[in-house]
Amino acid sequence: MEKLKVLVVDDDQMVRDTLYQLLTQIAGCDTELAETGKDGLEKIQKEEFNVVFTDLTMPEMNGIDLIKEAKRINPYLPIVVITGYGSIDNAVNAMKEGATDFITKPFTIENIMEILNRIKTEPKLIKEIGVEKGSVNLNFLNLALYKKYLSISLLQEVSAELDELYDNKKVYDKVVELGNKLLDVKGTAFLMFENGKVKMRKCIGNMEKFSLSHNNFFSEFFGEGQKPGVFKKTIPNLGQVSNYTEILFAPLTINGEVFGGLVFNGKNDGSGFNEEDIAIANTFAKKVSLRIENNALYEVFYSNLVSTLKSLIISIEARDSYTKKHSERVTNYSLQIAKVLGLSDEDIDVIKFGGYLHDIGKIGVKDTVLLKPGKLTDEEFEEIKLHSVIGDNILKPIKFFPKERELIRHHHERYDGRGYPDGLGGEEIPLTARILAVADTYDAMTSTRPYRKALDHSVAIEELIRCSGKQFDPKVVEAFLECDAGKGIKTEI
Ligand SMILES: [Fe+2]
């Protein structure tokens, strides 16, 4: 195959360099670079290119003007727009002006190869439908372009929605819902291949009828020697002897290994699956695989981080034998209260992690103050008070824990607004922090300290009730009285 001649027009040197490397060294193209639309246009006037990649915002002449001018010189020149993530509107505008396609930054070699392949095959396609250069059937091309725009924008929407999901259970639910919409089908299923068995994680619509027999039925997709790739299959329609139905299978892969698959059944318009459906299913499955892979990496990272921070807490508590396991007990009590109050799964997770770390800021408090057996001076108390802000600051650089940080920062606020560090009151204090305040105080009262013995459960409860509405949210105190810890029943930690 002849070398493709490519022009890259972008004022950003990094984009130019990256594309130059990808196009020249990996894709084997003959590549020229231009820094502005004006430079690019001059090159297009002088030489013949197979494809132009252009940025939209550039000095001297922007991408849209370049497309217009270049199309005047050669109406059939494929022009691909390079656009930032989320600026699909700009890309659509560029396509209205005649751009052939667009890629979003950051792009991969796969994106580039896909575009180059399309550019190689599209002239063939036009020939196949019998359209001569010069008399292009614009209606046909417009319709094809419109359909492509629809599927691309739907895919963009779909990947944006998937990007928000860190919990695989939510991914399964969303994927089958999006699958039905994207392929316009009656049913979609999400399969996972685990320990030699096929497990149906989620299905909707008419895929539900396969759920009982799925293991035998779908296992052939994962059989030995099964190459990854989308394929369709005609199968007897369950329950009806003479009817056949077509299903489309798109494998989910990580590093080329198939770990699951998406199955689509029954186009809503009654037609069979075509090449375009296969391509969409493939792209969709790739995006889903990436999300699952990212979630797995995130989980490993998250659990490493959690265990590092937990060992930090253990080392803080080891400094002071009286506070041993304090964080664990406080978390346990807080979770019991949260259950009574019906908090969301998300808030429960915040308590599980944030509760454990609520006193992490004590790492910044001097031993002489933290471990002082007697009464603290005003100055020393001011130093102790800093621990909630220090804790918040410790987690600040880690962007995953905004709600945990709030819990840590505000666990010494009071319901009447006389707490620290920000003097928040009532509902201004995050509910998780109001809960932790009750659990924290109860545990402090019922634990032995160097200067006093532990209070009895009943005395501690009386104190909580006395301070309800002042130091504590009455709703939280009430919930505490209802849970095991509040009733004096010890539970396993
Ligand atoms: Fe504290």
All domains of the chain, ordered by start, with CATH? Answer: 5-136 (3.40.50.2300), 168-296 (3.30.450.40), 320-482 (1.10.3210.10)
Taken in order 238, 242, 243, 244, is the CA torsion positive or negative?
Answer: positive
**Centre of ligand 1 from the C-alpha of residue 488, in Å:** 23
**Centre of ligand 1 from the C-alpha of residue 412, in Å:** 6
Q: Which residues pair with 80 in a beta bridge?
A: 53, 101
Q: Give mean pLDDT, residues 154-174.
A: 82
* 350 band by pLDDT with thresholds 50, 70 and 90: very high
Q: Give mean pLDDT, residues 201-214.
A: 74
What percentage of the chain exceeds 70 in pLDDT? Answer: 85
SS3 (DSSP) at 22? helix
**Centre of ligand 1 from the C-alpha of residue 180, in Å:** 50
**Centre of ligand 1 from the C-alpha of residue 386, in Å:** 10
> Which comes out higher in pLDDT, residue 314 or 11?
11
pLDDT at 203: 86
SS3 (DSSP) at 56? coil
Helical (H) or strand (E) element with 54: strand 51-55
pLDDT at 235 over 70: no
pLDDT at 227: 57
**Centre of ligand 1 from the C-alpha of residue 358, in Å:** 6
SS3 (DSSP) at 229? coil
Residue with tokens 């304090």: 326
pLDDT at 130: 47
**Centre of ligand 1 from the C-alpha of residue 152, in Å:** 51
pLDDT at 169: 83
Per-residue model confidence as pLDDT tens digits over 213-234: 555 667 777 765 555 556 666 6
pLDDT at 241 over 60: no
SS3 (DSSP) at 291? helix
pLDDT at 124: 52
**Centre of ligand 1 from the C-alpha of residue 388, in Å:** 6
Q: Give mean pLDDT, residues 119-124.
A: 66
Cis peptide bond upstream of 106, omega within 30: yes
Say if residue 18 is exposed, middle or buried (CB neighbours under 10 Å; 0-12, 13-18, 19+).
middle
CA distance 147 to 276: 10
Question: Would you give the DSSP letter of residue 226?
Answer: -
Tell me the residues surrounding ligand 1 (ion) with CB < 5 Å: 359
> Which comes out higher in pLDDT, residue 199 or 479?
479
pLDDT at 217: 66
**Centre of ligand 1 from the C-alpha of residue 399, in Å:** 22
Q: Give mean pLDDT, residues 42-65.
A: 90
> Which comes out higher in pLDDT, residue 7 or 236?
7
* 133 band by pLDDT with thresholds 50, 70 and 90: very low
* 192 band by pLDDT with thresholds 50, 70 and 90: confident
Per-residue model confidence as pLDDT tens digits over 396-429: 887 778 999 999 999 999 999 999 999 999 999 9
pLDDT at 139: 52
pLDDT at 134: 46
CA distance 52 to 69: 13
pLDDT at 361 over 70: yes
* 210 band by pLDDT with thresholds 50, 70 and 90: low
Lowest mean pLDDT among 79-83, 397-401, 466-470: 397-401
pLDDT at 282 over 90: no
pLDDT at 307 over 90: no
Give me the chain's average pLDDT, please: 83
* 212 band by pLDDT with thresholds 50, 70 and 90: low
pLDDT at 379: 92
pLDDT at 349 over 80: yes
CA distance 277 to 260: 19
β-strand pairing of 197-205 with 185-194? antiparallel
pLDDT at 181: 87
Residue ranges of E strands in 145-254: 185-194, 197-205, 231-236, 244-254
pLDDT at 438 over 80: yes
Lowest mean pLDDT among 95-104, 368-377, 465-474: 95-104
pLDDT at 458 over 90: yes
Beta strands across the sheet bearing 257-267: 197-205, 185-194, 257-267, 244-254, 231-236
pLDDT at 323: 73
**Centre of ligand 1 from the C-alpha of residue 376, in Å:** 15
* 128 band by pLDDT with thresholds 50, 70 and 90: very low
* 242 band by pLDDT with thresholds 50, 70 and 90: very low
SS3 (DSSP) at 274? coil
> Which comes out higher in pLDDT, residue 114 or 324?
114
CA distance 339 to 385: 29
Q: Which residues pair with 8 in a beta bridge?
A: 33, 53
What percentage of the chain exceeds 90 in pLDDT? Answer: 33
**Centre of ligand 1 from the C-alpha of residue 216, in Å:** 56
**Centre of ligand 1 from the C-alpha of residue 385, in Å:** 8
SS (H, E, C) 295-326: HHHHHHHHHHHHHHHHHHHHHHHHHCHHHCCH
SS3 (DSSP) at 218? helix
* Max mean pLDDT range (18-32, 92-106, 244-258): 18-32
